[in-house]
Structures are given as structure tokens and as C-alpha cells.
Amino acid sequence: MLVAPAAQAVCDAGHMCIYVNNDYSGTMRGFSNSKLSWGGFGLDDKASSASANGTSCSKSYYYDNRDWTGDYFYLNSYTITGANYQDPNLSNGAGYGTWATNNANDKISSANFASCS
């Protein structure tokens, strides 16, 4: 799904989302794939905010390399946990993980769902 501008920070149920601008604005791309690389969608290293809403997976991991390696952060699922599921400004750190306190703005290249039931 491709929507512009994003009106809310909560992804559709079962999706992980990135937004090209801070505060969940600009182009938004949501994915329900269990594992994906942003390169094929023209969004490699272009995310400035993110949100997660997995329905069977409680975490969404976002990585700086296209092969799901390197620095990362994860967000919890809105549907499953209801907390810590979004970050409006990736430049001041993001979620949990190695990027929790480091700049993740325009650095995301791949993502995957984890902790699935």
C-alpha cells in the first residue's frame, strides 16, 4: 500500500511501516511480508519515522543492511503490546537495539517480523 500523506502513526493490522518524513508524514509504505528489503521499493535509506502493528508477531526489526544484518532497532506491535510501537523521529534514536540511542534516520535497508506465535 502506498499512501501520501500519512494521517496516523498506526499501520494497518499485520504491517510494519516506514515514512519518508518525521512525524509519520510524507510517503508511507506498509508491508506484511515476514522479511523484506526496502531497495526494490525505492525506499532504501529513506525512512525518517516508523511504526509497527504485527498481528501474530510482537516485534518488527529494522536493519541498516539489505541482508538483515548490521545495526538495528525494533518496535513492538501496536495490536499485541499497545506500547513502544512507533518512533516519530529516527534521528534521535529508535526503539530498542543498537540504534536505540543512535541516529537511524535515512539508514533503514531491510526489515523483518520476529517473536511470532
Domains, the chain, ordered by start: 2-116 (2.60.20.10)
Upstream peptide bond of 5 is cis (omega within 30 degrees of 0): yes
What does the alpha-carbon distance between residue 9 and residue 64 come to, in Å, rounded to a whole number? 22
What does the alpha-carbon distance between residue 9 and residue 23 come to, in Å, rounded to a whole number? 8
State residue 4's pLDDT score: 44
**pTM of the predicted model as reported, rounded to 2 decimal places:** 0.87
State residue 7's pLDDT score: 43
Residue type at 12? D
State residue 9's pLDDT score: 66
State residue 41's pLDDT score: 75
- Classified as helix, coil or strand, 80 is coil
- Classified as helix, coil or strand, 8 is coil
Q: Give mean pLDDT in consecutive 10-residue pieces for the chain, a chain of 117 residues.
A: 48 91 90 80 88 93 92 92 90 89 92 92
